[in-house]
Amino acid sequence: MDAEIVEALRAGDEAAFAALVAQYGASMLRVAQMYVRTRAVAEEVVQEAWLGVLRGIDSFEGRSSLKTWIFRILTNTAKTRGEREGRSIPFSALEGAGDEPAVEPERFQAEGRWTGHWAAPPSPWRDVPESRLLGAETRQVVARAIADLPPAQATVITMRDVEGFSSEEVCNALDVSETNQRVLLHRARSKVRRALEDYLGDDG
């Protein structure tokens, strides 16, 4: 699959290039925006990265997947540009794990035999019809919850759970460790669940 696309690019096949741009372009722009200040600069980074892809395509050996290779070029380009702008990479600084609990601590018993067990347990959403859970209004709640996340968390949950990158692909693309990737994903998913609970809980 990769080999065919690579051959087509080398042969100057515009349709193959357009298809690749359609597949990865928006994700690349999202990732680029993590590293630089403005969308305009992020677009320049994406363009520069694609030029890097084209310049390097003749020497691409397929030791990684094409996707991984493209995103490595993108993040290297974005990082260089971000550093020039004096921006630090937001993925490296993770606060202690206790800083952002998945669920408000008040919802658990603080003392007694059942310390650490639910005091205010979640109510099942199984009475919520699937049409509502997967409907347009819920989608807006989810989109807003993701938009409110710190950028690193928003990027990781978007790449993993919206765009379907594997954890390995995200680690490679963003140059984060497996542990950091999982912490970011955990915080992001936990917050989105809370937003959904607030929303769906209204009529439980």
Partner 1 sequence: MKLARDLTCIEIVELVTEYLEGGLSATERERFEEHLGFCDWCVTYLEQMRQTLAAVGTLGVDDLSPAMQDMLLDAFRGWRAR
Residues forming contacts to partner 1 in the complex (CB under 8 A) are: 12, 14, 17-18, 21-22, 25-27, 29, 43, 46-47, 50-51, 54-55, 97, 101-103, 105, 108, 115-118, 121-126, 133-134, 138-139, 142-143, 146, 157-158, 161-163, 167, 182, 185-186, 189-190, 192-193, 196-197
Smallest separation, CB 163 to partner 1 (Å)? 6
Question: Across-strand partners of 186?
Answer: none
Q: How far apart are CA 47 and CA 29, in angstroms?
A: 9
Of the pair 88, 201, the CB lying nearest partner 1 is at 201
Smallest separation, CB 88 to partner 1 (Å)? 26
Q: How far apart are CA 92 and CA 167, in angstroms?
A: 17
Of the pair 83, 135, the CB lying nearest partner 1 is at 135
Of the pair 60, 125, the CB lying nearest partner 1 is at 125
159 within 8 A of 151, measured Cβ to Cβ: no
Identify the CA nearest to 193 among candidates 116, 109, 101. Answer: 101
Q: How far apart are CA 99 and CA 6, in angstroms?
A: 45
